[in-house]
Amino acid sequence: MMVGDVMDGVTADLLAFHGSSTTTAHYIKIHAPRNAHCVRDIERAVPKGASICDIGAAPYTATETLARLGYHVTAYDTALPAESLARWLSFEVIKGDTSTAHIQLPSGTFDAVVMSEVFEHLHVNPIITMREVQRILKPGGLLYLTTPNGLGLRKICKVVREGKFTDFYENWSRLEASGEMGHVTEYTPFEIRHFMEQCGFRSVNVRTENVYSKSNKFEHYFWKLVTTPFPLKRETIVCTASKP
């Protein structure tokens, strides 16, 4: 099965479930290229039939695609899906919050852990989170992590235009009101590499990619062109690392 075909089917099913005009549907559409990129990377690095934990998995586009491709997947997220959606999913969802507590999963369980667009939301000590990720990985297991690039050219242009990385007050107010928040910190490729190495991961590889949908083809090709000479200035950091 081709990743694109499987993901197209999953995306269509999820959009039908949520309704095409909802906030969740908008999120699914915007993040579809990033999820496809993630699944293709994992398919190249992890053999079919392996056990994978997807942390921060909702709305489950990549997770369900991996399950349909033949991986044994467990999703770990702050909330359980609606019962009607849970019956449709091909994997179990475990409720837990990596920002505030230990990961409620057994040690040495998974061949790979996926954290795609999660790391920037952690609002407690991320060292503890990475220790927990190492704990649930099997020896030699893979961490696959993506996070926004704080040094990306698009980000730098946004800061110059708006004078800020993010609205810190709005983010922390949202946490107080609903228990969820936006980006706490956006890291640089150098920070991610150093952090993962200091946390004890091995074979740490860091690169950047442009993986999100743009408003039009011109914008897509413009950013692809201007970041070509700057391999660490693309919008998303992709990090792979292994447990010793």
User: What are the tens digits of pLDDT across the range 171-211?
Assistant: 777 766 766 667 888 999 999 999 999 999 999 999 999 98
Provide the b/e sequence for 156-168 (b: ≥16 CB within 10 Å): eeeeeeeeeebee
Query: pTM here?
Result: 0.91
pLDDT of residue 100: 67
100-120 per-position pLDDT tens digit: 668 999 999 999 999 999 999
Domain holding 137, by residue range, is 3-242
Q: What is the CATH number of the domain that holds 39?
A: 3.40.50.150
Weakest-pLDDT range from 24-33, 135-144, 181-190:
181-190
Domain count, the chain: 1
pLDDT of residue 179: 64
Q: Given pLDDT bands bounded at 50, 70 and 90, which one contains residue 217?
A: confident
Q: Given pLDDT bands bounded at 50, 70 and 90, which one contains residue 215?
A: low
C-beta separation of 171 from 105 below 8 A: no
Q: Quick one: average pLDDT of 56-66?
A: 97
From residue 18, give the alpha-carbon distance in Å to each of 75, 81, 82, 180, 236: 19, 12, 11, 21, 27
